[in-house]
A and B are shown apart, each in its own frame.
Chain A
């Protein structure tokens, strides 16, 4: 146990030594510092190693079909994780992504009879509406995001289960365009949903880096009070973030239902916790203010391949889950060690 209090205060000589050591390190960055500055390299390395290990157990990963299936499965996870990344950059979290996705996909399938455009618009509208309520509560009424989105998930579950016997009743057919995007291939090993994912990636990576809202998201996540004092309308930034998160959740839900060809009350719930895990493994701090989407992409890919590896290993479901948790923990720990993103333990 690291007991902070027991450490003796450093003497003057020791302090000078420490300062000198730090100065030396700053002047001549070692490999660790260099890696810490570009954590995506570490993640890419982890991904490649994991991919090779998996391919050693499962040769299909070197075929077109194998690559395609990994991308197909990673895509909804990466889109959910995109919503999670945005929220976590502001120091929040969105635990309603899965239920938003379920409801949006269901609405789309329910409305597909009256035109695809209308179905899609309504599905995305569900996402925006949910995000708007979340954002209003978090930004204006200062409800804790964890509680707000948790409550929202509960509300959506209730709305959806009762809706199935009322306004959501009737035939459900996954719209053709959703099915095509979710299951057909573009060319070679690339599935069509990669186009959606790529578009989202470009917008998020560039937008977070160079748009006004993007910079503001980092600022709000880093220090909300300073932002408010500097004249940033924090509530508007938070509202925007949660609306975007709701929209992304709806898109993720559509992609998933396109791939599986199904809709259901809880079909994407298994993606909720992995979406948080992918974001964290990708290096976005849950405390806000640091990280980005490029890491999250790798996080989603790593988790997908890990899942595949665990499925391939001839073990029980129980053992797979145990390993999954341990690997997620180990990756998060490794990341913190490498980048020094450690949570201050006290006095710091």
Chain B
């Protein structure tokens, strides 16, 4: 007589616990953002269109850049050239737009997007074909892109038509265009993407490359496409800079700082640097938090230089706490 082995059915996890596990981090960042926002509002004499627009327009480029970085990091890579790429897109757009009208500017913007996506795809191709680690490739292409930015725009220039600003970032007291562009990118690009085959493949490749390969995912193709999607968001970031400042500045440190901030926002937003974990909403909220912190400190009458310290400490603490939480989850 054979012994009957009884296995108990695994109890399905509750909806709540699944939600907490999947979206807990994003909710946490949203709560942090709400707290910071209330703090900021309490500092200002009034909080209307102008104040909202200052925050949203000031965050737009970092938000897009954080999205770009997040897509690449989720696919298991990292892109240290997003900052220089953004500066390049900005400079290219400004050098072509000059003082032309809105219609021409929008066409140019589209062309700039196409070029940036092409360059990002090329970066992805170089990474997959050469086998050189992504950090190194993007470090080197970062140098090259900073040079290209200088090449297309030798010195800082301004004078892009304010109409362009109205369309992308909104005029002085109208925050809606900036909010809509970010929300549009999340809802119209990211939401369908993450449900598509490519989106699933990006998460699969990022979380376990060998397992993804054995399940028939095309690794190289997926990684290159992740860089291409990242390029789209980077291009948008560059155009945003153009719209907000109505000019371009080919300074190398702008790119470097932007890259560092994009990594910080991605990580704060719950994207694990090991790949395969996270989304794009978290990083966008984190980008808002990162822009609010210096403003709040300024409002408190602190030395704005302390903002650098505060930002660094917050990033380190959040990542350390997240690491501890993850370790505990693994043990239990």
Contact = CB atoms under 8 A, between A and B. Distances in A.
A154 B308 contact: yes
Contact of A273 (B139, B263, B267, B313): B139
B309 A159 contact: yes
Interface in A4-32: 4-5
Contact of A151 (B131, B143, B221, B315): B315
Interface in A296-344: 316-326, 328-329, 332-333, 336-337, 341-344
A318 B147 contact: yes
A344 B209 CA distance: 9
A343 B147 contact: no
B307 interface: yes
A54 B316 CA distance: 44
Contacts of B150: 316-318, 321
Contacts of B218: 3-5
Contacts of B130: 332-333, 336-337
Interface stretch (A67-75, A142-150, A208-216): A142-150
B300 interface: no
A143 B313 CA distance: 12
Contacts of A156: 312
Interface string A35-68: 0000000000000000000000000000000000
B136 interface: yes
Nearest to A166: B303
A323 B263 CA distance: 26
B221 A321 contact: no
A147 B308 contact: no
A243 to B, nearest CB: 17
A333 B141 CA distance: 13
B219 interface: yes
Given A142-B323, A150-B263, A161 B220 contact: no
A115 interface: no
A158 B309 contact: yes
A78 interface: no
Nearest to B311: A154
A152 B312 CA distance: 6
B146 interface: yes
Contacts, number: 200
B144 A143 contact: no
Contacts of A344: 209
The secondary structure that dominates the A interface is helix
B315 A286 contact: no
A5 B210 CA distance: 12
B320 A321 contact: no
B115 interface: no
A7 to B, nearest CB: 12
Given A2-B129, A324-B143, A325-B142, A318 B151 contact: yes
Interface string B109-146: 00000000000000001101111110111011111111
B142 A345 contact: no
B261 to A, nearest CB: 9
B221 A276 contact: no
B125 A155 contact: no
A273 B142 contact: yes
Contacts of B303: 161-162, 165
Q: How large is the interface on A (under 10, 10 to 19, 20 to 34, 35 or more residues)?
A: 35 or more
Contacts of A285: 133
A128 interface: no
A278 B38 CA distance: 47
B305 interface: yes
A141 interface: yes
Given A137-B320, A154-B308, A2 B128 contact: yes
Contact of A3 (B137, B220, B312): B220
Given A329-B126, A346-B210, A162 B136 contact: no
Q: How large is the interface on B (under 10, 10 to 19, 20 to 34, 35 or more residues)?
A: 35 or more
Contacts of B324: 141-142
B133 A286 contact: yes
Contacts of A229: none
A231 interface: no
Nearest to A163: B305
Contacts of A318: 147-151, 154
Contacts of B273: 144, 146-147
Contacts of B126: 329
Contacts of A269: 253
B78 to A, nearest CB: 8
B306 A321 contact: no
Contacts of B253: 269
A277 interface: yes
Nearest to A280: B136
A328 B140 contact: yes
A232 interface: no
Contacts of B316: 137, 143, 147-148, 151-152, 155
Given A342-B131, A347-B214, A151 B313 contact: yes
A294 to B, nearest CB: 19
Given A1-B220, A162-B303, A332-B132, A347 B213 contact: yes
A348 B310 CA distance: 42
Given A3-B218, A4-B220, A287 B133 contact: yes
Contacts of A322: 143-144, 147-148, 151
Q: 9 tightest CB-CB pairs across the interface, nearest first?
A: A321-B147, A158-B309, A325-B143, A325-B144, A158-B308, A154-B312, A342-B131, A318-B150, A322-B147
Given A141-B320, A348-B210, 20 more contacts: A1-B129, A2-B128, A93-B135, A141-B323, A142-B327, A143-B320, A150-B315, A155-B312, A157-B312, A165-B303, A322-B143, A322-B148, A324-B147, A325-B147, A329-B140, A336-B132, A341-B131, A343-B132, A345-B220, A346-B210
Interface of A: 1-5, 93, 137, 141-144, 146-148, 150-159, 161-162, 165, 269, 273, 276-277, 280, 285-287, 316-326, 328-329, 332-333, 336-337, 341-348
7 contacts: A143-B320, A146-B78, A147-B267, A157-B309, A158-B312, A319-B147, A328-B139
